[in-house]
Amino acid sequence: MPLKGSMVDGAPTRGGLASGKVAEVIGDLPCCADLVDRITAEAATALDRPTGGRTVE
């Protein structure tokens, strides 16, 4: 089975890798350092809000 060989057995050259429809809409592939910087900045912004980043109902 091609999927088993590639995904389960860890040999991508023996079959295909499923990616799903979402793969076609990904337009931003930052390096790890940039991604961590973005997440850190977003968290700091959220924590600076009066609600501490939590939603208030």
Q: Write the Ramachandran bin of 56: left for phi over 0, alpha for psi from -120 to 50, otherwise beta.
A: beta
pLDDT band at 23 (very low <50, low <70, confident <90, very high): confident
pLDDT band at 41 (very low <50, low <70, confident <90, very high): very high
Give the chain's mean pLDDT. Answer: 77
- Residues contacting residue 16 through CB under 8 Å, at least 6 positions apart: 2, 3, 6
Is 15 a residue whose pLDDT tops 80?
Answer: no
Is 31 a residue whose pLDDT tops 90?
Answer: yes
Is 24 a residue whose pLDDT tops 70?
Answer: yes
**The predicted structure's pLDDT at residue 26:** 80
The rounded distance, in Å, linking the Cα atoms of 16 and 5 is 8
Residue 40: C-alpha distances to residues 2, 9, 35, 43 (Å)? 39, 35, 9, 5
